Chain A
Amino acid sequence: MKKTFVINQTEHTLELDPRMTLLDLLREDLNLIGTRKGCDFGHCGACTVHIDGKRVLSCLKLAATVDGEVTTIEGISQDSHLHPMQEAFLVHDGYQCGYCTSGQIMSAIACVNEGKATTREDIKEAMSGNLCRCSAYTNIVAAIESYCNNHTDKQVAEQVAS
């Protein structure tokens, strides 16, 4: 079956096996390998992407049933500048091996946009779907907290709109 996708603001028309997940489509067909395959069963969050701005697990989504615009980690920087959330992860050392980091960052951006990053405890709860086997959690939470402190609601809203 043939389907047209908008991924990172670019249109792609692809021939699909109905079994293909969005995750495999991104990695195998489009070489967008920033989105990671951790468990492939919805446990770890490494494959988190946005569909119409909402964070979802691309491993539990059949590509043929994608019903909106997809944004991956490759699509969040603008004019070769890192997204401020990426900057915050760098500054706070919010990773160790880095395997889960793209999923963490995609989840963190959505978590802030959902208005769920008001306290440290809220951030922990809202980010519980992203596991980090190196256990860099303290710095991940610190990165998100600092992002929120450095960005006014208006700036966040503008980023969502853009």
Chain B
Amino acid sequence: MKPFVLEQASSVTDAVSQVGEAATRSQTTVYCAGGTTMIDLMKLGIAEPNTVIDLLALKPELDQIRMTDAGLEIDALATMAEVAAHPLINTHFQAVADSLNLAASAQIRNAATVGGNLLQRTRCAYFRDGHESCNKRKPGSGCAAQQGDSRGLAILGTSKACIANYPGDFAVALVSLDASVKLQHPNGTTRQLNVSNLHRLPEDQPDQETNLAPGELITSILIPDMPWQASRYVKVRDRTSYAFALASVAVALNLDARGHIQDVRLALGGLASKPWHCHNAEEYLKGKALNDVNVLEAAQLCFHGAKVDEHRAFKLELGQRTVIRGLVEAYRHAQAA
């Protein structure tokens, strides 16, 4: 691990101003909260910051979960375990609780914060191996994954430069629930950004992963308190537990008096370069009954424009089956509600 200076943040304002100040000296500064991704990447030599700002000292002022007029607000330094176990999450936002409980291991969920979780980086082996060409790690060097084993990577939102997938679960559930993040800029201003706009498509700049300004810090996550009859997160992976998603889907659903779909939200994980919002399938399903023909059509619409090769061809069918399972599970739950 490359030597770095460790600074303890005394407040949110202090943390962002330290990063803003470092940027003026062309120093690479990173925030570190739970550290479960950042320390991993620093050991691999993928992240080589000059300065690390430890945010954990701010935890007591930044780890609350509360219902506000605008919806449920989760402070960014709450851990994955704390959020998953919170009564407001368990009762109102089942997809969020499931997405957290099905992610990582108990030890990691006890340390990792939800703000950091949103920004976890791809698990593409060619990104994590410092010796292979990777446009995300070293812009312009090429993409070894496209001539290699791409089984775990994306089929939606990819580009000529990058086929890495976004590995997280929580962000996928948040996209399905129209959640946003509150951000603090080093210049003192704050803003709100929809989670579906937090991550960027790789296009020809896969190293630019988010729409955050340099030094901008996620301070909380806001989930609108929509009265969904059902919200579900279905995750399919190579082993039963402690694995990243090969395919996952978050579904939020409301049925009308006839049992037809009044409103629905669909987002995909494991299969795309960013948490993937399926607008087409949502529009198609509105007002329709959830029968065999309609769920299949909706599942196919989710994968419009998907690009596969021999390693990833199976993900098209696996992804569609995952969407169908998510829709059917949400439908049964909504009927019982």
Contacts and interface: CB of A to CB of B under 8 A. Distances in A.
Interface string A1-27: 100000000000000011101000000
A65 B106 contact: no
Contacts, number: 82
A55 B106 contact: yes
Interface in A50-98: 54-57, 60-62, 64-65, 67
Question: Which range contains the number of B residues in contact with the other chain?
Answer: 20 to 34
B32 interface: yes
B40 A42 contact: yes
B241 A55 contact: no
B3 interface: yes
B32 A129 contact: no
B162 to A, nearest CB: 23
Nearest to A57: B107
Interface string B27-67: 00000100110011001100000001010110100000000
A45 B3 contact: no
Nearest to B79: A54
A131 B119 CA distance: 26
Contact of A45 (B5, B57, B81, B105): B105
Nearest to A55: B107
- Most B CB contacts (10 A, CB to CB) among A60, A114, A130 go to A60
A45 B107 contact: yes
A57 to B, nearest CB: 5
Interface residues of A, number: 32
Interface string B1-18: 101111000000000000
Contacts of B105: 45, 128-130
Contacts of B1: 19
- Most A CB contacts (10 A, CB to CB) among B5, B57, B107, B108 go to B107
A82 to B, nearest CB: 23
Contacts of B6: 1, 18, 62, 64-65
A21 B44 CA distance: 14
B39 A18 contact: no
* Minimum-distance CB pairs A-B, first 4: A129-B105, A128-B241, A18-B6, A128-B242
Given A111-B106, A128-B106, 5 more contacts: A42-B108, A45-B107, A127-B106, A128-B105, A129-B242
